[in-house]
Structure 1
């Protein structure tokens, strides 16, 4: 009986070590991506400004590669600044918030879709409410969006990805927030450009 207890204790210690290593590795990848994104934003030659909704001519030639950190997402309510990377594949999501490649970029007048893990970049995402804001810092300017709607959809519901006829920042993560294992649903926020006064 004592051997079984010792064996279970050893297995528990190994599991904690593996989990700690994985979390540390993910945080290091996200920190590296944040530095890369910040450098890209700061070293762009174009002047930076807060862009008013509807007053931006999109950079038609703006392009990012899968896994490339190119922007930051600030969530003032959660006091977070996160790297935004190209793609929503597992490697990209390990580096930060993923930008769906077939959605547009801020200022281009359509759906911008960002996605992230609830247990890494979007920890505490459940604290967000209608009226809270997202700030997207791009190499060509800063864009502010306000959450106006939220919904919960099944994990395989792709109707969230669609033409919307206007600029909308759609941010998704897994739901329920504290679910253990692969979550069966997605929490979706719809945030609209804030006009400067």
Structure 2
């Protein structure tokens, strides 16, 4: 009798954990949308109503932790992914997280984004040096070109160091197909090339 109670308890606990984790996985997986759902055109049209400097100042305001404030657009992957301020599990379940102590998009410094390798960044390994990445906010489009791809230890803090120019650093766990806590990080370093 006791064995049956323990078995039923463990079965229901396992089922609960499977459903909860599965829903988190699917939430992140389906947060990646095709690019045509991001209206870069409307951003450009809206900018005719005010000067670029006014929009740039609006972009520099720090969002609240957990707030969705931008979209990461990856043309080569035909992907647009929501960007949330913060990198707690709550933000990473829904999209890409922006490490708070790093720069805002467009600043002459290092903006660092992070995401899960099995959901939002499952195709990150398909990108090459020379590919574009854009961060689209309500006010501006910040475009970067990938300059370097690195694989570093998970404890390597050089990923978040300040930079002398507008830089976008994108990081995820590596290897991509690793089961459990991955020992390394896959890092894209991109230089700001154009601000629309």
Per-residue deviation, 1:31: 6.0
How far apart in 1 are the matches of 2:170 and 2:29? 18
- Aligned partners of 1:58 and 1:108 also within 8 Å: no
How far apart in 2 are the matches of 1:144 and 1:157? 26
Per-residue deviation, 1:93: 0.9
1:78 matched to 2:99? The reply is no
Partner of 1:64: 63
Where 2:173 maps in the other structure, the secondary structure is strand
How far apart in 2 are the matches of 1:18 and 1:60? 39
- Aligned partners of 1:30 and 1:83 also within 8 Å: no
When normalised by structure 1's length, the TM-score is 0.75
Per-residue deviation, 1:124: 1.3
- 1:136-158 Cα offsets, whole Å, 9 max, x none, are 10122011111010111100111
Please, what is the CA RMSD of the aligned residues? 3.4
Partner of 2:105: 106
How far apart in 2 are the matches of 1:71 and 1:30? 18
- Aligned partners of 2:96 and 2:120 also within 8 Å: yes
How far apart in 1 are the matches of 2:129 and 2:42? 34
Where 1:172 maps in the other structure, the secondary structure is strand
Partner of 2:121: 122
Unaligned ranges ≥5, structure 2: 1-6, 49-54
Per-residue deviation, 1:29: 6.5
Check 1:25–1:105 CA distance in 2 against 1; reply closer, same or farther (3 A cut): same
Unaligned ranges ≥5, structure 1: 1-6, 50-55
Check 1:190–1:155 CA distance in 2 against 1; reply closer, same or farther (3 A cut): same
Where 2:76 maps in the other structure, the secondary structure is helix
How far apart in 1 are the matches of 2:64 and 2:42? 18
Partner of 1:182: 181
Check 1:86–1:42 CA distance in 2 against 1; reply closer, same or farther (3 A cut): farther
How far apart in 1 are the matches of 2:61 and 2:71? 16
How far apart in 1 are the matches of 2:71 and 2:59? 20
Check 1:77–1:33 CA distance in 2 against 1; reply closer, same or farther (3 A cut): closer
